[in-house]
């Protein structure tokens, strides 16, 4: 496996934690037989102190696991190039600098996302209650529909959050570490399988500057775009950044995102824009 490829076990662990919280909520709904009571129970659960504590703990575990795992990756990379000593020294100081703030920011953001999970489901439940009530559906039948819908809806939402947020957090930590030691470029890497979206497949192997994210869909000529973003920074994205620590490890000439387009450059040309 590529040294910089994300460890999917962290995503899987995070997803299990999110699903476990939703199963706890699901168990609270078992004995309820009124649609409005179910809606109230979901909202009360989302505001409970216990769920807030659980959300912060789950977010902290995910972010710190990514932080620790990535630290090992950087140390491994340091052994393979001439900047090794500098990287080692930077890793020792990192939590006192901008990276410490990035870690806390990611924990807070993810805790908030977890807390929003039951509220998102509550909005769907509320919409379902209103639609079915207008049709004249009996309350008991609406309850049965909600209880049948809840497990799959929560499972799907938990999966999306886990997949998207572990990638976003991983990219954010890599960026903070990179820029703290003056590594301003990375190579866009994909998972290289059939599920890679066309626009991202086009980005495979492209050198990207951290302060100039591309618009992959625009570069691929697609009508619909999602703006400018880095690999791993968009929903369901499994791409990841490979920091450009040593130019000797790049195969030249290389594709470079520069001036809003992908250009083929020699090493000398690339060094001129670094």
First-to-last alpha carbon distance for the chain, in angstroms, is 29
Closest CA to 20 of 120, 122, 123, 158: 158
Domain end point (choices 157, 180, 203): 180
**Cβ atoms of 200 and 236 closer than 8 Å:** no
- Whether 63 and 147 map to the same domain: the answer is yes
Query: Could you tell me if residue 3 is inside a domain?
Result: no
Domain end point (choices 156, 180, 204): 180
pLDDT > 70: percent of the chain: 89
- Whether 200 and 269 map to the same domain: the answer is yes
**Cβ atoms of 2 and 189 closer than 8 Å:** yes
Q: Which domain holds residue 226?
A: 185-273
Report the pLDDT averaged over residues 6-26: 91
> pLDDT, tens digit, for every residue of 246-256?
899 899 999 99
> pLDDT, tens digit, for every residue of 109-147?
999 999 999 999 899 989 999 999 999 999 999 999 999
**Cβ atoms of 215 and 227 closer than 8 Å:** yes
> pLDDT, tens digit, for every residue of 187-239?
999 988 888 999 999 999 999 999 999 999 999 999 999 999 999 999 999 99
- Whether 126 and 34 map to the same domain: the answer is yes
Reading the block at residue 171, the tokens are: 């990219």
Reading the block at residue 102, the tokens are: 């990035």
Query: Could you tell me if residue 2 is inside a domain?
Result: no
- Whether 95 and 38 map to the same domain: the answer is yes
Closest CA to 116 of 45, 37, 16: 45
Closest CA to 113 of 190, 30, 198, 15: 15
**Cβ atoms of 62 and 113 closer than 8 Å:** no
């Amino acid at each position: 496996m590529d040294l910089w490829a994300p460890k999917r076990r962290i995503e899987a662990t995070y997803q299990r934690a999110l699903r476990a919280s939703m199963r706890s909520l699901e168990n609270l709904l078992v004995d309820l037989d009124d649609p409005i009571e179910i809606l109230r129970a979901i909202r009360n659960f989302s505001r409970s102190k216990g769920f807030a504590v659980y959300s912060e703990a789950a977010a902290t575990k995910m972010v710190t696991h990514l932080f620790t795992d990535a630290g090992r990756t950087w140390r491994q990379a340091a052994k393979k190039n001439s900047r090794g000593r500098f990287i080692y020294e930077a890793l020792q100081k990192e939590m006192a600098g901008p990276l410490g703030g990035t870690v806390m920011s990611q924990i807070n953001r993810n805790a908030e996302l977890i807390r929003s999970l039951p509220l998102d489901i509550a909005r769907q439940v509320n919409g379902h209650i209103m639609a079915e009530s207008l049709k004249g559906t009996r309350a008991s039948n609406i309850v049965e529909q909600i209880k049948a819908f809840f497990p799959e809806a929560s499972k799907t939402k938990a999966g999306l959050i886990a997949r998207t947020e572990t990638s976003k957090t991983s990219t954010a930590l890599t960026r903070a570490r990179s820029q703290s030691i003056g590594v301003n470029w990375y190579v866009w890497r994909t998972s290289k399988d059939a599920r890679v979206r066309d626009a991202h497949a086009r980005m495979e192997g492209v050198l990207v500057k951290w302060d100039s994210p591309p618009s992959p869909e625009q570069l691929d000529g697609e009508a619909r775009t999602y703006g400018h973003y880095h690999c791993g920074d968009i929903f369901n994205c499994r791409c990841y950044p490979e920091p450009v620590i040593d130019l000797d490890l790049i195969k030249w000439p290389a594709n470079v995102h520069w001036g809003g387009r992908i250009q083929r450059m020699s090493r000398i040309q690339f060094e001129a824009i670094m």
